[in-house]
Amino acid sequence: MFISNPFAELVAFLPPLFMQAYIVLMIVAVASGTIFDVLHKRSGEFFARQRAKSKAAAKRQLSGMDNVSLAVRTLLKEVLTSGEFHNARRRISHLLLFYGFVLYLVSTIVMVFGYSTQTTVALWPALWNIGALMVLAGGCWFFFFIRVDVAKEGNSPFRLVRADLFIVSLLLSVAFALLWEIVQTGGNLTATIIFFIFYISFSTLLFLGVPWSKFAHMFYKPAAAYQRRVETANGSSDLPTPAGRREGR
């Protein structure tokens, strides 16, 4: 446990091709769901209008290097360090979720495609478990203590709305992944299959629920943050710029 590949044990009741095909299908589902979300909410049209409006109102033209610099700043602040969150607890929980999910997802792909029927380098199962625990830590902290309707409005954390679909399905998927791994060590094939079904079911809900959850927001937020930086830099923004925080400083 923790240093053995849980997916390699699937050969007891499933061929290696099953998980490989499943991951490909889930990637397609996320891409399709995001495209559907963009078309349904007309997000692409909104960003196109904003770019056109910004260009027309620009007080100075940005060079290619200016745009590259703004993109790098967006990557470093809004994507890699979650700098848009001024609440320290929210920022830490978000970073645990983000980096935990990345570790969990990448190690899953590596173990499924690279080591499905052979000895796995212990690093990957370890990263898989670390990533899963980070997701649970950051996600449970957010879900039970930081959510606005819980922390500010005093609602029960078990009062769920559609916006909670992403975090709930993610937490249940990761929790059952770890439980499935633990049950494997007991050697009970029936229990292993049952927990695997729960794991794969909540994982499927997570990835198929993109059009109805906040999953797609991870793609929108960097785009919106970059557009705000462009508008501030070219002088087209109608928002006040805080003293000492002008773009380029």
DSSP codes joined into one string, 155-177: --TT---GGGHHHHHHHHHHHHH
Residue written as tokens 């229990």?
Answer: 191
Q: Is the pLDDT of residue 179 over 90?
A: yes
User: How high is the pLDDT of residue 248?
Assistant: 39
**94-151 pLDDT per residue, tens:** 999 999 999 999 999 999 998 876 677 889 999 999 999 999 999 999 998 888 766 6
pTM across the whole model: 0.83
Average pLDDT estimate for 166-175: 95
Distance CA 126, CA 97 (A): 17
φ, ψ (nearest 5 deg) of residue 144: -95, -20
User: How high is the pLDDT of residue 27?
Assistant: 95
DSSP codes joined into one string, 105-126: HHHHHHHHHHSSSSPPPTHHHH
**Please, which residues have CB within 8 angstroms of residue 9's CB and are 6 or more apart in sequence?**
184, 192
User: How high is the pLDDT of residue 249?
Assistant: 39
Q: Is the pLDDT of residue 191 over 50?
A: yes
Q: Is the pLDDT of residue 228 over 50?
A: yes
Which of 148-152, 215-219, 229-233 has the highest mean predicted lDDT (pLDDT)? 229-233
Which two tokens mark 108?
A: 């899953």
User: How high is the pLDDT of residue 115?
Assistant: 85
DSSP single-letter state for residue 24: H
Greater model confidence, 174 or 53: 174
